Structure 1
Amino acid sequence: MRKIIVATHGELSKGIVHTLGVIIGEEITHSIDTYSLLPGEDVNDIAESIEKEITSAKEKKLDYVILTDIAGGSVHNTLLRLVSYPNVWVITGVNLIMLLDIILSDSNNSTQTVLEKALENARLGITLQSCIPDNLSNDLDNDDL
C-alpha cells in the first residue's frame, strides 16, 4: 500500500490535489496529504511531521511517496533526508500527469515500478507546440533584438 504526500512551496500542493479531484473525483484525493511551506514557516516542521508518521506507521507496511516542486529547493532538500527509510521515495517536479499515474496505478505493482512509469509519462507529457515555422524560429534565435 502507498501513502502519497505532496509538499511544495506555497499552496501548489493543495491546488494540484484539488485539480486531481476535479478530474478523478474528490473521494480519491482524500487519501493524499498536502504540505505547503508558507513565508515565515520552517520546512523542518514539515519534515518532522512526515517522519513522525513514517516511524509510527511501521506496522502498516506503507510505502511513502513524497512529491515536491523544485529540485534543489528547500522543501525538496529537507525532505530528502527521509529517503534514509527504505519505504520512502522523494520525487521532484510534481505535475498532474505524474500524480494521476501514481494515484491510479495498480497496487500490485512495486512502488519502484510505478514511480519509474509515472516519471516517464510525466516527461512524455511535456511538449512544445508553436505556429512559428522551423526556419523562422532559427532566424529569430540569431537576431540581436
Structure 2
Amino acid sequence: MKVLLVSHAYMAKGVKSSVELILGPQENLFAMAAYVDQEAPFEKDIKKFLEENKNDKLVIISDLFGGSVNNELMKLVADKENVILITGMNLILVMSVLLASEDTIDDEIDEIIENSKKGILKCLVSDIEADVELDDF
C-alpha cells in the first residue's frame, strides 16, 4: 500500500516530515505540493503517480474538502478501484493509515477517520490534572 499526501503549498511535505520524525522513514509515503510551481501543474504529477502505481493499493489524503486540490483529485480517481481518497489531513490520520494493513484498510478506513477526529480538541491548562504527565510530542 502506498500513501500519497497532497495539499495546497507545502502542508503535505510538512506532515510527511512530522510522520517520519515519529515513525521513522516511510518508503511508501509520498507528498505533493500543489500550486507552488506553475510550470508543473500538480494534476500532471497526480496522473503520472496514478499510472505508475495502477497495480498498487493507494490511499490519497488531501488537505481540505471542497478545495481545488481535493476537487481535482475526486475527478482523477473517480474510476480507480485501487484508490481510497480521504480529505481533512492530520497527523493522526496519516499515521493510522500507515500503520494499517493493506489487506484490511478498506474495512478499517471509516474507523481510522473517526479515531483521527478524536484528536481534535480544545485544550485548556485548567482541564489537565496536575498529576497527569504529558508526552514530549
Q: Aligned pair in 2 of structure 1 residues 31, 131: CA closer, same or farther (>3 Å)?
A: closer
Aligned pair partner of 2:31 in 28, 31, 34: 34
Q: Would you say 1:93 and 2:120 are equivalent positions? A: no
1:49-64 aligned within 5 A: 49-58=45-54, 60=55, 62-64=56-58
Contact 2:57 2:102 in 1 (8 A): no
Report SS of the residue matched to 1:84: coil
Query: What are the ranges of 5 or more consecutive residues in structure 1 without an aligned counterpart?
Result: 134-145
Equivalent AA in structure 2 for residue 68 of structure 1: S
> What's the Cα RMSD here?
2.3
Query: How far apart are 1:30 and its partner, in Å?
Result: 3.1
Identity in percent: 25
In the alignment, the residues of structure 1 paired with residue 52 and residue 94 of structure 2 have an alpha-carbon distance, to the nearest angstrom, of 25
In the alignment, the residues of structure 2 paired with residue 40 and residue 24 of structure 1 have an alpha-carbon distance, to the nearest angstrom, of 29
Report SS of the residue matched to 1:116: helix
- Structure 1 length-normalised TM: 0.75
Q: Would you say 1:46 and 2:42 are equivalent positions? A: yes
Report SS of the residue matched to 2:78: helix
Structure index of larger Rg: 1
- Structure 2 length-normalised TM: 0.79
Equivalent AA in structure 2 for residue 90 of structure 1: L
Query: What are the ranges of 5 or more consecutive residues in structure 2 without an aligned counterpart?
Result: 128-137
Equivalent AA in structure 2 for residue 12 of structure 1: M
In the alignment, the residues of structure 2 paired with residue 77 and residue 14 of structure 1 have an alpha-carbon distance, to the nearest angstrom, of 20
In the alignment, the residues of structure 1 paired with residue 39 and residue 24 of structure 2 have an alpha-carbon distance, to the nearest angstrom, of 32
Aligned to 2:133: none
Contact 1:6 1:35 in 2 (8 A): yes
Aligned residues: 126
In the alignment, the residues of structure 2 paired with residue 75 and residue 25 of structure 1 have an alpha-carbon distance, to the nearest angstrom, of 27
Q: Aligned pair in 2 of structure 1 residues 22, 114: CA closer, same or farther (>3 Å)?
A: same
